[in-house]
Amino acid sequence: RDVVRHPGAKALWSVGLDYAHGTGHGVGSFLNVHEGPHGIGIHPVATEAKIELHSIVSNEPGYYKDGHYGIRIENLEEVVECRTKYSPTGFYTMSHLTMVPLCRDLIDTSLLTEMERAWVDRYHAKVVANIMPHLQKAGDQNAIEYLKYHAQPL
């Protein structure tokens, strides 16, 4: 499961930190937000069940400094097949289901690498492509302005 957990933890691991909570879990269909059978994390219960194709899982890496602050961004993702140049099958990746921009006012761009900035910009481009047509059709000018502001390139 560290292979799945790695992308969310890599930035912390590179400076000798980690987070003690799970990276993700199954999402319930009957109001049980932490529904199994699978989970992504360091605890044994998280490793008991296989993550299946088309499972819906949360992706929520974060960091908490005891007594000071915490940050956690949670998105829902679908497990989908990932085709690669050398292997047409056998790998899974995650596809975003949550289409909400990250709060621009809480992003300190001076702390981001170019690769991280590019990831945020790609995510925001997907959010705009998926959500803007619905907002325009609804004529929701406040939501359109909100999306334009928060999803503009870093």
Q: What is the pLDDT of residue 84?
A: 81
Residues 105 and 151 in one domain: yes
Q: What is the pLDDT of residue 83?
A: 78
Residues 80 and 104 in one domain: no
Residues 25 and 94 in one domain: yes
Residues 104 and 94 in one domain: no
Q: What is the pLDDT of residue 63?
A: 84
> Distance between CA 95 and CA 18 in Å, rounded?
24
* Residue 71, domain extent: 1-98
Residues 153 and 115 in one domain: yes
Residues 109 and 80 in one domain: no
Low-confidence ranges of the chain (pLDDT < 50): 1-3
Q: What is the pLDDT of residue 6?
A: 57
Instruction: Phi first, then psi: give them for residue 56, nearest 5 degrees.
Output: -105, 125
What torsion, rounded to 10 degrees, do the Cα atoms 23, 99, 10, 43 define?
A: 0
Residues 68 and 86 in one domain: yes
Residues 22 and 57: beta-carbon distance below 8 Å? no
Domain count, the chain: 2
Q: What is the pLDDT of residue 2?
A: 46
